[in-house]
Amino acid sequence: MRERQRGRTVLESSTEMLEVVLPNDANPLGNILGGKVMHLIDIAGAVAAHRHSRRHVVTVAVDSLDFMYPIRVGQIILLRAHVTRAFNTSMEVEVNVFLEDFISGERRQTSSAFVTYVAVDEHGQPTPVPPLIPRTADERRRYREALERRRRRLALAGRAHRKFRTHSKP
Ligand SMILES: CC(C)(COP(=O)(O)OP(=O)(O)OC[C@H]1O[C@@H](n2cnc3c(N)ncnc32)[C@H](O)[C@@H]1OP(=O)(O)O)[C@@H](O)C(=O)NCCC(=O)NCCS
């Protein structure tokens, strides 16, 4: 039997990442490509999942993703990622994307995504992750809501919703 792992708070793995949008990342209209945003979402989310689990992680599912506003060449793309809940070997990470304009200082949210990562061992096999300890009211709400999202996600993928350990009572 594996030793029960120490829980980690949301803050311990929260990740912020930013990049300036360059012409190479853009379509002919001068807006960042959706695929580039998806790439950055995956990286920011994976860093949060790595920090939480201290394991290699692989992306297993991305929920629906909308692009609400264009981010233009010369603007900053800012990504914030935090783990919302850890299950057995998988973790749900919320990644919020913002644009920031150097000149006006305007910042607005352009996308939000829930990405599921699985921690794997050196053979690529799923391995247990530490529990998440939600502290604030928002973290506890996201923690509760993550369960329903997991149910829907697994049902869509045609997979049974496996039981998992309950680590805390948020
Ligand atoms: C991720 C992977 C190791 C899981 O393998 P598996 O044989 O399905 O393993 P399991 O059935 O034990 O599932 C492992 C976890 O993944 C979760 N999972 C599997 N498919 C999922 C899906 N479609 N959506 C959400 N979670 C999923 C399971 O619920 C389980 O979570 P839990 O342990 O917290 O309950 C395997 O599917 C894989 O290697 N996929 C490719 C990953 C990859 O290369 N990603 C990069 C892009 S290609």
In the three-class reduction of DSSP (H, G, I as helix; E, B as strand; rest coil), residue 76 is classed as: strand
Residue closest by Cα to atom 10 of ligand 1: 126
Question: Would you place residue 1 in the very low, low, confident or very high pLDDT band (cuts 50, 70, 90)?
Answer: very low
Contact 27, 33 (CB under 8 A): yes
> CATH code at 136?
3.10.129.10
Q: Is residue 14 part of a domain?
A: yes
The structure tokens 């973790």 sit at 91
Average model confidence (pLDDT) across the chain:
93
Q: How far is the CA of 72 from the centre of ligand 1 (A)?
A: 35
Q: Is residue 3 part of a domain?
A: no
pLDDT tens column, 143-159:
999 999 999 999 999 98
Higher pLDDT, residue 162 or 127 = 127
Burial category of 59 from C-beta neighbours within 10 Å (exposed 0-12, middle 13-18, buried 19 and up): middle
* Amino acid identity for residue 99 in this structure: L
What mean pLDDT comes out for the span 47-60? 98
Would the CB of 164 count as within 6 Å of ligand 1?
yes
Q: Is residue 160 part of a domain?
A: yes
Would the CB of 53 count as within 6 Å of ligand 1?
no
Position 5 scores a pLDDT of: 80
Q: Is residue 2 part of a domain?
A: no
Q: What is the 3-state secondary structure (H, E, C) of 119-162?
A: EECCCCCECCCCCEECCCHHHHHHHHHHHHHHHHHHHHCCCCCC
Write out the residue range of the structural domain in which residue 61 sits: 8-167
Residue 20 in this model has a pLDDT that exceeds 90:
yes
Question: Would you place residue 170 in the very low, low, confident or very high pLDDT band (cuts 50, 70, 90)?
Answer: low
Q: How far is the CA of 73 from the centre of ligand 1 (A)?
A: 36
What mean pLDDT comes out for the span 41-62? 98
What would the two tokens of residue 8 be?
Answer: 């980690």
Question: Would you place residue 168 in the very low, low, confident or very high pLDDT band (cuts 50, 70, 90)?
Answer: low
Q: Is residue 1 part of a domain?
A: no
Instruction: Tell me how many domains the chain contains.
Output: 1
Would the CB of 147 count as within 6 Å of ligand 1?
no
Ligand 1 pocket: which of 38, 42, 92, 118 to mutate (most atoms <8 Å of CB)? 118
* Amino acid identity for residue 83 in this structure: V
Q: Is residue 115 part of a domain?
A: yes
Q: How far is the CA of 58 from the centre of ligand 1 (A)?
A: 8
For the CA of 88, the closest atom of ligand 1 is: 34
Contact 12, 52 (CB under 8 A): yes
pLDDT tens column, 94-138:
999 999 999 999 999 999 999 999 999 999 999 999 999 999 999
Q: Is residue 125 part of a domain?
A: yes
Edge-first strand order for the sheet with 15-20 is: 15-20, 76-86, 90-100, 107-120, 56-62
Q: How many Å apart are CA 62 and CA 148, to the nearest integer? A: 15
Q: Is residue 89 part of a domain?
A: yes
